[in-house]
Each structure stands twice: as C-alpha cells, then as structure tokens.
Structure 1
Amino acid sequence: MRETLEAVAAGDLTPTQAEAQLRGYATTEAGRFDAAREHRRGIPEGILAEGKTPAEVAAMADAAVDSTGRALVTRADDETAEQVRTYMDQEHPEATVDRDARAQTVVVHAADYEPPGVDADVVVVSGGTADAHAAREAAVVAGEAGPRVETVEDVGVANLTRVLDEIETLRSADVLVVAAGREATLPTLVAGLVGAPVIGLPTSTGYGVGGDGVAALLGLLQSCTVLSVVNVDAGFVAGTQAGLIAIGVDGAAAGSADEPAADATDGSPTESER
C-alpha cells in the first residue's frame, strides 16, 4: 500500500489508478468501474450506456482507460459515442477510439495498451443483415478477449447453399456464435455440422407473434442439436462466453505442449518381450 501511495505522491500513478490497485475498482460519478474483472474473468467489464447520460458513460470510460488501458462501451447511441470520443480527445489524446454504429459499441485503447493474444479462432455467424446488431456486438466483445475473430454474414436457412458455402470456415472455428431471428433454425443447423461449441444468439427480428425474439429463444431452447443459448439480443453475453471458451482452448493447447513426451518404456511390452 505504501508503494502505491508513494507513487501517487510522486505523480507516477493517478488517484484512479491507485484506487483500482488497492480496491479493484475505480469510483466515478456514474458508479464503480470494476477494473479487476479482466484479471478475474479474462474479459473486461463492459460499460452499458443504456440508462446513463452520455457524460456519465464518458466518465466511466475515462476511468476504464486510466485504470486498465482500455474501455468497452456497449449499447451506445450516436450522442453517447460522440461524447466518449470528445472526452478521450481531451483526456487521452493518443488513444484510439473505434465506433461500430451497427453494434452500438465504442472501444478505446490507450496508446501504450497491449492487447492480449489468444491462439484460438472465434467465428460469428448471422442469419441476415437484420441480425447484425447482435452478431457484431458479440464479435467486438469476443475480440477484446484476444482471439482471432471472423464473421460470416447473411447465411440464413432460407437458402442452405449459403451455409454450405461457408462450411470450411465454420469447421475451422474453436467456438462459434450464431445469431438468428424468426424461428432461429440457423444455430441448430450449424451445431449439427461442426465439432466446436456453438452459442445460439436469438435476435428480436421477425414478424407477428413471437417476432420480438421469443420464438427464436424458445426454438433454441428446444434445439435438437447440442448448443448453449443466451438471451434475446444478448451479444455481449455471447461474445463474452465465446472469448472465455477461446481462452480455455488456448490454455489447454499450451498445457498439452508443456507436457513431457510419453516414455517409450512405460511398461508396454517391447518386441523382444512379445
């Protein structure tokens, strides 16, 4: 603790950074930012913009960058995204600010931020352009965990050829997120074609009764093929789960590489003993 306090006194740490080190979170006018989450979970805390003013979101993003070197904002409208960008231009002028309007995300990386490297592949699939809001949110969030992320868009089951044309990419993945609305057949279909885990992401696109995502969610819960399911439009949750699985895949591969080679004299009979 003394070293941290001395660093603040010397100007080497900001009060936000010191609080994050001592308590694991940084306090802002909009609440407490969980700066230690990525060390506990492998995924940074997402700053949900809904329900907050643009100024509050910008303040939390500032605390995130100050304490962890990056900020991940979700469900950010244009006004909020512009407020975050303006704030960063003032407080962190060297930082990069990436906005995905369809995903409604804003990702900020400090100039000296070093992204994690995860040797695994995440493929995010969407049934149609109308599902891109949730699919892209999942892709952005998964990417912040460190794996390679590839997107396959507009391959809905109304024409199965579109899915089969991407089969090589689908089967190359270590984990897939598949977003679909209507009755959400696509995740079930993909899960029957690949060996990797599939996360079904129902979206609120469709017509009439159940068209707000209810039919898609219920369809995935009744899936004939094995997959996991998140809530309607929950791209953040799907992306987080995909990122965590990718981290596990990378860790398992690294552990296997570190294991000593099997001993040839492990008790099995040799040719002369047979």
Structure 2
Amino acid sequence: MRELLDAVADGSLSPAQAEAELRGYVPNEAGRFDAAREQRRGIPEAILAEGKSSEQVVTLTETALETTDRALLTRVSDRQYAALESALADSFPNTTIDRRTGAVLVRTPGWEGPSLEATIGLVTAGTVDEPVADEAHVVCLDAGATVDRVDDVGVAALDRTLDQVDRFREADVLIVAAGREGALPTVIAGLVDTPVIAVPVSSGYGHGGDGEAALAGMLQSCTVLSVVNVDAGFVAGAQAALIARAIDDARANGE
C-alpha cells in the first residue's frame, strides 16, 4: 500500500493505475473497466463498441490507456472511430492506432508489449471473412506473436489452398475463418499437424445462412479442430495467443 501511495506521490503511477492495482477494475461513467484481466486471465479486456455510444467508447478507451497503456476494441463503427480519433488527439496525442476494419488497437508511447517466439497463421476463405479475421489479428499482435496471414484461399478453387500448405505447416497454431458451408478449416486441419481454431463467419443466405451451416460443418468436422462461435474473431485470437504464449514459454525453457 505504501509503495502505491509513494508511486502516486512521485508521479510514476497515476491515480487510475493505483486504483486498478487496488480494486482490479476502474469505474467510470461508461462502466467498470477490468484493468487486471490480463494478469488474471492472460488476455486483456476488449472494449466491445457495438451497442455503445461514441462517448462511452471514448471513456472506456481512455480508461484502458490510463491503466494499461493500451486499449483493444472490437466492432467499432466509422462514427465511433472518428470520435475516438478526435478525442485521443487531445487526451493522448502520441498514441499509435492500428485499425483493421472494426478492430482497433491503441497504444501509448509507454506501452512495452511482449514479444513471443511463436507464429500464428491466420487464414480466410474469402474477402467477406476478413473483418472477423481482423479481430483475431489485433489480439494476436497485442499478445506479441508473429502473424502470418493468408487471405482468400477458399476451397471453391482448391489450388489456392494447396499451394499455401507449406506456410500453414510452419505456423505454431492456425486460425481459419470461413463462411458459407465452412469447409476450409476441415480441409486445412487434414493437411497439418498444427492446432486449428475454426471460426464460422455469418456469410451465406437461405437455408443455413448467417453462419449456421458453417458452424454446423465445423462442429461435425471429421478432422480434429476447435470451433468458436459465429463471428467470434476475438475469442479465436485470444485462444491462439494463449497457445502461442505457452509455446514461447516452452521454447524459452528449452522444452
């Protein structure tokens, strides 16, 4: 306790950071930000922008930056992003913003992220799957893993898949996003000895549309893989990041 008070007094720790240390979370007008989630779970709290006002998104982002030196956001609309960019120009003028579709990673100059000796392969079947893959991408970048991304290799033209197999095999863990019938993760999982995390995407129409057919196909895969919920790019990225961290630890310990 005394160390926290001394750190606040000498300016090396902000009041928000001290509050996060004591409570594990920081309350604000938009809710309670779980600043201790990374220490507890290994993955930081992501700010789901969908359903929130621009003001709430800004408030939560600023709290995340104050307490953890970075903020990870998902499902950010163009309007919310414009408000966020404008607000941060005043409150955190030296931040680095990495935006990939609706996924946003914001880092202050004080952020010292990890660097993992592990590669996560990120694969999409088609262009429509890319926004979901982008969520996974920013989570993996935040975790410090190397991301090897291969887009648009759906099985409708199988040669596109087969000519990338060597890259797939070099990854330590694979995330494969696909909509429609969702066949790509099953095909890739049958060609590699790498753990595969399948992400069904809500593309398609008619019977089995909105990701239902993709989810069902992945759950019924005859090759071994893990499946997350429809459009759950963040969850897939978090799972892959945890696997990558375990691999990095094993390599560091010579295992």
TM score, norm. by length of structure 1: 0.90
Structure 2 contact 104–138 (Cα < 8 Å) conserved: no
**What is the CA deviation profile of residues 203-261 of structure 1, one whole-angstrom value per residue up to 9, with x for unaligned ones?**
0111211111001001100000000000000000001001111001111122225xxxx
Give the SS at the match of 2:105.
Answer: strand
Partner of 1:41: 41
Give, as a single letter, the amino acid of the residue that structure 1 aligns with 2:157: N
Give, as a single letter, the amino acid of the residue that structure 1 aligns with 2:165: I
Give the SS at the match of 1:159.
Answer: helix
Give the SS at the match of 1:158.
Answer: helix
Partner of 1:261: none
Give the SS at the match of 1:124.
Answer: strand
**Is 2:106 aligned against 1:108?**
yes
Count of aligned pairs between the two proteins:
255
Q: How does 1:1-274 map to 2 (within 5 A)?
A: 1-101=1-101, 104-256=102-254
Give the SS at the match of 1:106.
Answer: strand
Partner of 1:270: none
Partner of 1:268: none
Task: Give the Å deviation of 1:83.
Answer: 1.6
| Unaligned residue ranges in structure 2 (runs of 5+) | none
Please say which structure displays the higher CA radius of gyration: 1
**What is the CA deviation profile of residues 75-132 of structure 1, one whole-angstrom value per residue up to 9, with x for unaligned ones?**
000111112212211111111122222xx01211001211111110001100000111
**What is the CA deviation profile of residues 50-69 of structure 1, one whole-angstrom value per residue up to 9, with x for unaligned ones?**
12111111111111111111
User: For the residues of structure 1 that align with 2:214 and 2:70, how far apart are their CA atoms?
Assistant: 34
Give, as a single letter, the amino acid of the residue that structure 2 aligns with 1:185: A
**What is the CA deviation profile of residues 172-192 of structure 1, one whole-angstrom value per residue up to 9, with x for unaligned ones?**
000000000111110000001
TM score, norm. by length of structure 2: 0.96
Q: CA RMSD in A?
A: 1.2
User: For the residues of structure 1 that align with 2:12 and 2:154, how far apart are their CA atoms?
Assistant: 53
User: For the residues of structure 1 that align with 2:131 and 2:16, how far apart are their CA atoms?
Assistant: 33
Task: Give the Å deviation of 1:10.
Answer: 4.1
User: For the residues of structure 1 that align with 2:49 and 2:200, how far apart are their CA atoms?
Assistant: 21
Give the SS at the match of 1:210.
Answer: coil
Task: Give the Å deviation of 1:21.
Answer: 1.3
| Unaligned residue ranges in structure 1 (runs of 5+) | 258-274
Partner of 1:267: none
